[in-house]
């Protein structure tokens, strides 16, 4: 669906693959000029090339969202390159499913990327949007930001925190033209799930985790992100939108 974002500027973190790539491509397909950001320069550059090949406009900016100076430079790039910032999808995140999240270093990294990174992005993005008196921010949380998970303390804690930051921003800027929402995906076919999904038996397990009997696709999450940024969602703020094939309905 084309949301008529002609002339608008969108920033997407974690856009080198998966949900972030699908979101960046979706913004561009609707006419927005896109700042594609990721720590993976190869993946980010590929996303830009895909957008340009389809006739869209995009540039890449390498950014570790856990570093304040890099986030500041990222948002400044949007302003210098395209003149402003209308939409932001704060999607960069890590999932330490194969590690011990109680390990000090793993915990610190999860907190830095998944939670501090979202805060730093919101802080810089909102500054530009508030000056313009308008804007929409969407943060990627997870169904693990709403329900528990006995295996991943860092992931669960940070994703719950993202929902909290989302509600905070929505209330703080509700009367200043800036809306803040979150998407909470269930199991999605991305680089995070790929190592497990490569095993046929594990793939069956992943598919069985939702009542619909399959994993979600990145484009299905991205479509919700675009809608939340569009004028069609003009009265929606502070919402954590679950997109999980029914997993949390049980």
Quick check: helix, strand or coil at residue 212?
A: coil
* Model pTM above 0.85: yes
Where does residue 166 rank: exposed (0-12), middle (13-18), buried (19+ CB within 10 A)?
buried
> Among residues 56, 57, 68, 71, which one has the least CA distance to residue 14?
71
Domain 9-241, CATH number (from 2.40.50.840, 1.20.810.10, 1.20.140.160, 3.40.50.720) = 3.40.50.720
Contacts of 194 (CB under 8 A, 6+ apart): none
The predicted structure's pLDDT at residue 197: 66
How many residues in total does the chain contain?
A: 250
Distance CA 5, CA 2 (A): 8
Residue entry with tokens 């479509």: 223
Q: What percent of the chain has pLDDT over 70?
A: 98
The predicted structure's pLDDT at residue 150: 82
Is 70 exceeded by the pLDDT of residue 31? Answer: yes
Is 80 exceeded by the pLDDT of residue 43? Answer: yes
Contacts of 176 (CB under 8 A, 6+ apart): 130, 133
Of 3, 82, 102, 155, which is the active-site residue? 155
Is 80 exceeded by the pLDDT of residue 194? Answer: no
Please say whether the dihedral angle defined by the alpha carbons of residues 67, 68, 73 and 75, taken in this order, is positive or negative: positive
Is 80 exceeded by the pLDDT of residue 10? Answer: yes
Q: What percent of the chain has pLDDT over 90?
A: 82
Q: At what angle do helices 117-132 and 68-82 cross, to 10 degrees?
A: 30
For 147, list phi and psi in degrees, rounded to 5.
-130, 170
- Residues 195-213 have pLDDT tens digits of 766 778 778 887 888 999 9
Domains of the chain, by residue range, sit at 9-241
Residue entry with tokens 């997109």: 243
Q: Which two three-digit tokens encode residue 94? A: 């890590």
What's the DSSP call for residue 188?
Answer: B
Sorting pLDDT into bands at 50, 70 and 90, what band is 90? Answer: very high
Q: How many helices (H) and strands (E) does the chain have?
A: 9, 7
- Residues 45-69 have pLDDT tens digits of 999 999 999 999 999 999 999 999 9
- Judge whether 226 and 12 are in contact, CB under 8 Å: no
Please say whether the dihedral angle defined by the alpha carbons of residues 130, 91, 170 and 34, taken in this order, is positive or negative: positive
Sorting pLDDT into bands at 50, 70 and 90, what band is 87? Answer: very high
- Residues 120-171 have pLDDT tens digits of 999 999 999 999 999 999 999 999 999 988 888 899 999 999 999 999 999 9
Over residues 83-109, the mean pLDDT reads: 89
Annotation marks residue 102 as catalytic? no
Rg of the chain taking only CA atoms, in angstroms: 17
Residue entry with tokens 């990294």: 109
Quick check: helix, strand or coil at residue 122?
A: helix
The predicted structure's pLDDT at residue 19: 97
Is 80 exceeded by the pLDDT of residue 180? Answer: yes
Q: Which two three-digit tokens encode residue 168? A: 């905070």
What are the start-end ranges of the H helices in 87-242? 104-110, 117-132, 153-172, 194-197, 200-208, 218-229
CB hemisphere CA count around 19 (13 angstroms): 32
The predicted structure's pLDDT at residue 1: 79
The predicted structure's pLDDT at residue 189: 87
């Amino acid at each position: 669906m084309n949301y008529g974002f002609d002339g608008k500027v969108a920033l997407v973190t974690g856009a080198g693959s998966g949900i972030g790539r699908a979101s960046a491509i979706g913004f561009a397909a609707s006419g927005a000029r896109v700042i594609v950001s990721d720590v993976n320069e190869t993946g980010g550059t590929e996303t830009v090339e895909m957008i340009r090949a389809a006739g869209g406009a995009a540039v890449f900016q390498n950014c570790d969202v856990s570093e304040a100076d890099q986030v500041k430079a990222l948002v400044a790039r949007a302003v210098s390159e395209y003149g402003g910032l209308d939409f932001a999808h704060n999607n960069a995140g890590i999932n330490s499913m194969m590690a011990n999240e109680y390990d000090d270093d793993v915990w610190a990294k999860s907190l830095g990327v998944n939670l501090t990174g979202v805060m730093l992005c919101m802080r810089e993005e909102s500054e530009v949007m508030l000056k313009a008196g308008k804007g929409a921010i969407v943060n990627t949380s997870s169904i693990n930001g709403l329900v528990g998970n006995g295996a991943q303390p860092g992931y669960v804690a940070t994703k719950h925190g993202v929902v909290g930051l989302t509600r905070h921003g929505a209330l703080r800027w509700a009367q200043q033209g800036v809306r803040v929402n979150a998407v909470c995906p269930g199991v999605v076919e991305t680089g995070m799930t790929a190592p497990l999904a490569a095993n046929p038996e594990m793939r069956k397990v992943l598919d069985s985790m939702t009542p619909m009997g399959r994993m979600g696709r990145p484009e299905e999450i991205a479509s919700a992100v675009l809608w939340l940024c569009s004028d069609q969602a003009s009265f929606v703020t502070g919402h954590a939108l679950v997109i999980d094939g029914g997993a949390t309905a049980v």
